[in-house]
Structure 1
């Protein structure tokens, strides 16, 4: 029965009958409408909360979640864009959209996870510098971006500072002699780890997309691995592709 109640409310939400920020009927009203127990109503509401459609704001009640997803465009990473002197690409782009971006940055020297060491083709014992970022929009943590660099090439550079790099870490690498000309993108979809749940304040049952980028120099040397974790209820991943046309077909 709780699934039928959830189905009915979900239909009202997806159809627009219940608009964003609208208050759902109270537990007492739902109990009376469907002639069910309080436990049944609470299971129905919990299901919608887990799906990310509804938020619980006790004691006020349950409300339809307002969704304003972030469009994540991996292909835009290497494009030249005018950044402000104070803010990097993430901060600049979303400030321009009228949103309030913020990112918390930590920098550490660590032994790389096995998968990162393999992608960077590191020898056993080689250390990496990692820039760990939690990106917020309008006060909500939207995604994490952890970038790993061989310590031997970024030691004493701006990459080691826990602050925004206005021109971007990619340009810093280029200035150090490691310009990236190619990137390999991998996208995985799965349930989050406990650490990711904590960092992103994820509701139960929220899946994540994991975008892993490995950047290579012209010589084929991998110099950066970036791992971005994208909650499924907060993002649209947008790829743009163009067909290459032979000269004789133009």
Structure 2
């Protein structure tokens, strides 16, 4: 008998594919500890009977979760819950990607996906203290830990002060190191807002997630030690891989 972690019925003609509904339930049940305590997922036949669907639909759900890293399939043995612990990422006065994951992953770095200069939106101009439509540099980056994508970020900087910043970041793989090259030896976090939502198409692709996956979202402003706005960013963390630890310590 399948445990109480899978209690909801799937809803047909809801606009959400049946395999996705099943994947969501399995993912949530594993996260809560209600499913997979012995490390093994129930057989496909048991899951198909539980949800009243064919085995192909269950296989699609399992395949998506294998791709996402929640499950692993072993030929001839079955499907198992991936036991890797979530990384704990600290949100504090000094928040740095590489330092935050120190001791949890051997290789930690960020990759530049794209960059562009354009007019600041009202949200970005307010965060950076710039006139609306002032030119800002937009960086799209991805953070990896031991070769596994864990975060996807969109960051904005004053283009008049940070012309060529994308080159320094691409070379160093670090916002902190790139800022050092631009004469900013240190900076602190002014504010962080945390929320959660379903991953959009770009995050699904770059973070190698399946549809329905949840991302933790931080919207942050970093500032110089003198209090001037420096960076405005929105970072999406794969919720199955990362937990956020909020601290007031510097």
Q: How many residues align?
A: 225
Whole-Å separation in 2 of the counterparts to 1:37 and 1:157: 54
Highest Rg: 1 or 2?
A: 1
Whole-Å separation in 2 of the counterparts to 1:47 and 1:192: 18
Quote the offset at 1:140 in angstroms: 2.0
Counterpart of 1:240 (choices 204, 222, 247) is: 247
SS at match of 1:141: strand
Whole-Å separation in 2 of the counterparts to 1:234 and 1:6: 22
Using the size of structure 1 for normalisation, the TM-score is: 0.67
Taking only aligned residues, the RMSD between alpha carbons, in angstroms, comes to: 4.3
Contact 2:154/2:233 (CA < 8 Å) preserved in 1? yes
Which residue of structure 2 lines up, in the alignment, with residue 128 of structure 1? 136
Whole-Å separation in 1 of the counterparts to 2:173 and 2:161: 17
Which residue of structure 2 lines up, in the alignment, with residue 83 of structure 1? none
Quote the offset at 1:156 in angstroms: 4.2
1:204-234 CA-partner distances (Å, limit 9, x unpaired): 2212111111123466532211221112211
Q: Equivalent residues in 2 for 1:165-204 (5 A)?
A: 168-172=177-181, 175=183, 180=187, 183-204=190-211
Contact 1:191/1:205 (CA < 8 Å) preserved in 2? yes
Q: Which runs of 5 or more residues in structure 1 are unaligned? A: 79-88, 243-250
Counterpart of 1:39 (choices 31, 54, 62) is: 54
Contact 1:159/1:172 (CA < 8 Å) preserved in 2? no
Q: Which runs of 5 or more residues in structure 2 are unaligned? A: 8-25
Q: 1:112 to 1:193 in 2, by over 3 A?
A: farther
Whole-Å separation in 2 of the counterparts to 1:104 and 1:184: 24
Q: Equivalent residues in 2 for 1:149-160 (5 A)?
A: 149-156=157-164, 160=168
Quote the offset at 1:152 in angstroms: 0.6
